[in-house]
Amino acid sequence: MTTTGSTPPTLPETLARLRGAQKGHARGAPAYSVYVNRRIGRLFAAVAYRWGLTPNQVTMVSALHTFAGIAVIATVPPSWWAGAVVAALLVAGYAWDSADGQVARLRGGGSIAGEWLDHFVDAVKIASLHLAVLVGLYRFGDVDEVVLLVPIGFSVVATATFFGMILNDLLKAARGVASTHARAGGTFARSMLLLPTDFGVLCLAFVLWGASPLFLLVYGALFAVNALFLCAAAVKWFREMRRVD
């Protein structure tokens, strides 16, 4: 069904357009991002489009949710309700982050400035989330000082991983080589295997923020898996760069 004149499309029609314009997911995309976050983001994008929001405005909505959650981690004593609020804000922020690109496609394409803003906000949130955990544990947690090294290490790993992915794509594009994360789809098994590296899983882990021992166990395990992933990925990326040379 199509609309005529100036009548705006209905929500189901907008969702149908989004499904038709949806890009394939990157080969390295983990399961939550592909099967959960993208679908929530599609709904948010349809609503944002009907509200007349621009992609950059959607990016800022994402940032408001995300940084509100980060602020709660650093300023509010851990509790079950604080953890639920943090997880909800981070999950919503992540879904809105998926929505901005989908809104851009509905409006006929994005811009370089919009892509820069999206990546800039991502870079800030990736580093500051773990630093907020460090502050929260230091202020409110009865933990050994060694434990405080975990969020510091996680911030380094997350930031280096994000920068490595962006740098790979930039260097390859400059030489006309297909991106490391070309959107060629991927297997379900691969997506599930990479689930612990998914930012969405990290967001959900904050449900346990009020149960410090359990949160630290899950958070520490995610840090270990992400650190191992970065080590393996760095070797792979360097070999790819040598082939490009």
Q: Residue 235 falls within a domain, yes or no?
A: yes
Q: Residue 148 falls within a domain, yes or no?
A: yes
Which of 33-37, 213-217, 218-222, 232-236 is least confident? 33-37
Q: Residue 158 falls within a domain, yes or no?
A: yes
What's the number of domains the chain is made of? 1
Q: Residue 110 falls within a domain, yes or no?
A: yes
Q: Residue 50 falls within a domain, yes or no?
A: yes
Q: In 3D, which of 12, 19, 21 has the Cα closest to residue 50?
A: 12
Computed over every residue of the chain, the mean pLDDT equals 88
Residue 33, CA distances (Å) to 98, 113, 168 in order: 9, 24, 20
Q: Residue 188 falls within a domain, yes or no?
A: no
Residue 116 has pLDDT above 50, yes or no: yes
Q: Is residue 3 very low, low, confident or very high in pLDDT (cuts 50, 70, 90)?
A: very low
Q: Residue 191 falls within a domain, yes or no?
A: no
Give the domain CATH number at 85: 1.20.120.1760
Q: Residue 185 falls within a domain, yes or no?
A: no
User: What would the pLDDT profile of 123-171 be if each residue is shown by its tens digit?
Assistant: 999 999 999 999 999 999 889 999 999 999 999 999 999 999 999 989 9
User: What would the pLDDT profile of 47-76 be if each residue is shown by its tens digit?
Assistant: 998 898 999 999 999 999 999 999 999 999
Q: How far apart are CA 218 and CA 195, in angstroms?
A: 13
Residue 219: predicted pLDDT:
98
Secondary structure (DSSP) of 166-224: HHHHHHHHHTTPPPTT-S----HHHHHHTGGG-HHHHHHHGGGTTSHHHHHHHHHHHHH
Residue 211: predicted pLDDT:
94
Which pTM was predicted? 0.88
Q: Which domain holds residue 42?
A: 11-16+25-179+196-244
Q: How far apart are CA 184 and CA 194, in angstroms?
A: 16
